[in-house]
Chain A
Amino acid sequence: MADARTTQEKIADYIKTKMPGARDLALSDFVQTAGGWSHEIFIFYANWTENGRAMRQGFCLRRDPGAGLLRELSSLAEQFRVIKALEHTAAPTPKGYWYEADPSLLGGPFFVMEKVEGEVPNPWSRAGKQFYGEAAKRGKLPRSFVEALASLHNLDWKAAGLDFIGVPRPGKDFALREIAKWETLISQSLRKPEPVLTEVLMWLKANAPEAPRLAFVHGAYRTGNLIVKDDAIAAIIDWELQVIGDPMYDVAYVLSDLNREGSPLLSCVVERDFFLDYYQQITGLTIDLEVCRYYEILYMMRSTAFWLSASGLFAEGRNKDLRLARTTYSVPVVLDMAARALGF
């Protein structure tokens, strides 16, 4: 018999099983957020009584819809394990509570984590740009932005048990593994030949840099993937692209024009010179701008892979979200950026 319960009711029933001591548990402020291209995100509060006292706690639930942006490359199980591993480090991240692989519970695998209080202004919106621009003038958020990134690059990823996500061999292996990963997504998504992309891929393979040191790399470190509270980074979120790799990969993402859409500030929040100086000061690493330029082009290829995947899912009828359809027009635009970066 079909399950007539709403998603909210199913989630409430699930949370009750996980908190058997919570009496009269009910959910409030239940919202499915508009963000999230790979997973559906639900934010809510659980309210209950315990020893006669009223209790309230915020949760965030990520569910795999089965046809998300990264297709088979996205693993909620891995994301949950990463969040659990980071709980005991200096990196600001939400606490992870429960992971469920069983699709019968909510229609797909999901995990539940802490709802970290704060806000995530959209850096592409006018209001978001204004928010980050004003915070930049006050100076505290740009420092926190750099410090949170440094907390990832400075952490002992072996001691944190993060090597399960895969450790590249010395030399060019990191860059080549990244290229291979996104080439897999491209081959799953491609609906027509893309010779410009072929040229970009071949150039990337022919010019892969060596990674002189390895760090824990977020893979999409930018405003929009950071929860901000009181002008500080309260949590780094969106854990689905992390790798053990060259820390310059994250630095390049911060430096990239892809993440500032006309703002003079990196990631719409931090002055370039301040970022370069302060990052080097608190990590002890030297930023290699030539290598960063290479990774910026790799990100353009990765963005192309994302948009080919998104528009492909829509064209194949596997995902009806019109935001995915719109990305069909983003493919030539990002390939144009890559071509210009390569001089043609």
Chain B
Amino acid sequence: MIPAKQLLGEIAESLRKVIAPAIAEPFPKAQAFMAAVILEFVARQVEERSDIADEKREALGDLFGSLSRLDRVNGIVGKGAVDEAELCRLIERLYGERKRLGEEAFGAANGAVRETLRKLLDQELKVAGKGEG
């Protein structure tokens, strides 16, 4: 997702340089310029939501921990960082090693991965979905 500060800055710029100059009526023109000014202030107030990153980190930690305890699968769990980039690599390794793992082990690992993917997605949907309320 594009960082909130960057987006607010770009919208302010669009209001100031594209939208406001194209408006002929004085009142809506002034409103567009003022919206740009306010958005620049708002951009200084906002912070990215830390709860989303925290929840994702926890879900990833749980997944890598449980996969390390799964027979046959533990060999393909990386020893490095526990993050989304490593999860991408793990998914690729799982499919790549599917034959060697066998359908039962692959299915168990893939099921656990998908459960975590759902948790990660739900975190992103807190912002991009229809809202939490």
User: Taking beta carbons and an 8 Å cutoff, which residues of A are in contact with B?
Assistant: 192-196, 198-199, 202, 205-206, 311, 314-315, 320, 322, 325, 328-333, 335-336, 339, 342-344
- With A192-B84, A199-B117, A336-B121 as known contacts, state yes or no: A314 contacts B10, CB within 8 Å: yes
From B83, B84, B121, residue with most partner A Cβ within 10 Å: B121
Picked from A192, A331, A344, the residue with its CB within 8 Å of the CB of B117 is A344
- With A195-B88, A202-B92 as known contacts, state yes or no: A329 contacts B1, CB within 8 Å: yes
> CA of A40 to CA of B117 in the docked complex: distance in angstroms?
38
> CA of A330 to CA of B1 in the docked complex: distance in angstroms?
9
Task: Give chain B interface residues in 67-114, CB to chain A under 8 Å.
Answer: 83-85, 87-88, 91-92, 94-95, 98, 113-114
> CA of A305 to CA of B118 in the docked complex: distance in angstroms?
19
A contact residues around B91 at 8 Å (CB) = 195, 198-199, 202
Q: Is residue B24 contacting chain A, with contact meaning CB distance below 8 A?
A: no
User: Taking beta carbons and an 8 Å cutoff, which residues of B are in contact with A?
Assistant: 1-2, 6-7, 10-11, 13-14, 18, 83-85, 87-88, 91-92, 94-95, 98, 113-115, 117-118, 120-121, 124-125, 127-129
B contact residues around A331 at 8 Å (CB) = 1, 124, 128
In the A-B complex, list the 6 residue pairs whose CB atoms are closest, starting with the nearest.
A344-B114, A332-B124, A193-B84, A329-B128, A193-B85, A332-B128
Verify A336–B125 contact, CB threshold 8 A: yes
Closest chain B residue to A333 by CB distance?
B128
Shortest A309–chain B CB gap in Å is 13
Closest chain A residue to B95 by CB distance?
A202
Verify B121–A335 contact, CB threshold 8 A: yes
Verify A339–B118 contact, CB threshold 8 A: yes
Verify B10–A322 contact, CB threshold 8 A: yes
Shortest B15–chain A CB gap in Å is 10
A contact residues around B13 at 8 Å (CB) = 320
From B18, B87, B98, B128, residue with most partner A Cβ within 10 Å: B128
8 A-B pairs (CB sep. < 8 Å):
A202-B95, A205-B95, A322-B14, A325-B10, A329-B127, A332-B121, A336-B129, A342-B114
B contact residues around A194 at 8 Å (CB) = 84, 88
> CA of A296 to CA of B113 in the docked complex: distance in angstroms?
22
B contact residues around A322 at 8 Å (CB) = 10-11, 14
> CA of A206 to CA of B96 in the docked complex: distance in angstroms?
10
